[in-house]
């Protein structure tokens, strides 16, 4: 009798296990069948940007408030709902502020004019094309959690700098100017007769960065979802043309977007 009961329990366990396995397989297949291979959407991301100075007689002078906006797309990998390639085409503004640690000089006709407490407030704008690997959980309730990492090449489309000093501002009194324009070379601090107190405010027009992000995605209606998260964009190419100054600009952004 006991042997018969044990055999019955064993048979029941096998049936339950088989049924559970079948349900799990059906759920996975259903998720795959419901996965869109390509998704597109729009995003906007306010950010806080700053300059990390590694070498030279300048320092970071506070954070700037910028914004990113543009198109984003997710491309599914192997019809698996958890693996995606993320691609974006966005316009990003990155205010970057630095201050000189020493007195700077502009020399004209062998006359050196000193400028103390000099600050440079850059208004930089880039077109960024981030390419990332995006990992997502299955839907939990109405939410999915995601993380992403990758690279983001960027091309500068606007550069302006405003210079603040404790003394009279340059010979014309003009403040905001394009640092990379050859017509503004006369506004560079070229140092005194001993080449001290020099700084060229030109910036490098190409930028490469590493992108790290995480957030949540939730369904609005049908296949339309909203995405919210944080992104750290860590530049690893130089910002300044000046050989004596090494620095990079970074930002932390709050991402908000909608996929259709």
Instruction: State whether 109 and 194 are in the same domain.
Output: yes
Q: Flag the least confident range among 123-127, 171-175, 214-218.
A: 171-175
What's the structural domain count of the chain? Answer: 2
pLDDT-derived band of residue 5, with 50, 70 and 90 as boundaries? Answer: very low
Instruction: State whether 26 and 100 are in the same domain.
Output: no
Instruction: State whether 8 and 132 are in the same domain.
Output: no
**Rounded distance, CA 212 to CA 154, Å?**
16
Mean pLDDT in residue range 230-250: 96
| pLDDT, tens only, 110-135 | 788 888 999 999 999 999 999 999 99
Task: Indicate the SS3 state at residue 103.
Answer: coil
Mean pLDDT in residue range 34-50: 92
pLDDT at 172: 55
| pLDDT, tens only, 53-62 | 999 999 999 9
Instruction: State whether 232 and 143 are in the same domain.
Output: yes
Instruction: State whether 13 and 123 are in the same domain.
Output: no
Note whether 253 and 68 are within 8 A (CB): yes
Percent of the chain with pLDDT over 70: 83
Instruction: State whether 43 and 15 are in the same domain.
Output: no
Instruction: State whether 200 and 97 are in the same domain.
Output: yes
pLDDT at 170: 61
Mean pLDDT in residue range 191-208: 89
Instruction: State whether 45 and 103 are in the same domain.
Output: yes
Q: What DSSP character marks residue 130?
A: -
Instruction: State whether 45 and 165 are in the same domain.
Output: yes
CATH code where residue 58 lies: 2.40.160.20
More confident residue, 169 or 184: 184
Residue 30: pLDDT above 90?
A: no
- Stated as kind and residue range, the H or E segment containing 228 is strand 224-235
| pLDDT, tens only, 85-110 | 999 999 999 999 999 999 999 888 77
Q: What DSSP character marks residue 139?
A: P
Residue 26: pLDDT above 60?
A: no
Instruction: State whether 220 and 106 are in the same domain.
Output: yes
Instruction: State whether 122 and 6 are in the same domain.
Output: no
Instruction: State whether 62 and 26 are in the same domain.
Output: no
**Rounded distance, CA 11 to CA 9, Å?**
5
Specify which residues 246 forms β-bridges with. Answer: 55
Specify which residues 122 forms β-bridges with. Answer: 96, 161
pLDDT-derived band of residue 28, with 50, 70 and 90 as boundaries? Answer: very low
**Rounded distance, CA 223 to CA 74, Å?**
13
Q: Which domain holds residue 227?
A: 37-259
């Amino acid at each position: 009798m006991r042997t018969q009961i044990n055999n019955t329990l064993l048979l029941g366990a096998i049936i339950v296990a088989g049924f559970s396995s079948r349900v799990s397989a059906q759920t996975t297949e259903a998720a795959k069948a419901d996965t869109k291979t390509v998704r597109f959407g729009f995003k906007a991301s306010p950010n806080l940007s700053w300059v990390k100075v590694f070498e030279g007689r300048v320092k970071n002078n506070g954070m700037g408030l910028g914004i990113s906006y543009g198109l984003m797309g997710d491309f599914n990998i192997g019809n698996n709902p958890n693996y995606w390639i993320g691609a974006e085409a966005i316009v990003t503004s990155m205010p970057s502020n630095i201050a000189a640690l020493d007195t700077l000089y502009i020399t004209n006709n062998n006359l050196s004019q000193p400028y103390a407490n000099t600050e440079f407030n850059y208004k930089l704008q880039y077109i960024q094309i981030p390419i990332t690997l995006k990992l997502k959980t299955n839907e939990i309730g109405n939410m999915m959690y995601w993380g992403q990492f990758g690279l983001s090449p960027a091309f500068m489309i606007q550069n302006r700098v405003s210079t603040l000093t404790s003394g009279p501002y340059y010979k014309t009194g003009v403040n905001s100017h394009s640092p990379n324009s050859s017509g503004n070379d006369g506004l560079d601090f070229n140092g005194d007769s001993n080449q001290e107190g020099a700084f060229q405010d030109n910036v490098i027009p190409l930028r490469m960065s590493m992108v790290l992000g995480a957030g949540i995605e939730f369904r609005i209606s049908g296949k339309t979802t909203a995405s919210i998260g944080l992104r750290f964009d860590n530049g690893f190419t130089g910002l300044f043309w000046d050989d004596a100054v090494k620095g990079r600009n970074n930002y932390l952004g709050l991402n908000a977007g909608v996929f259709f």
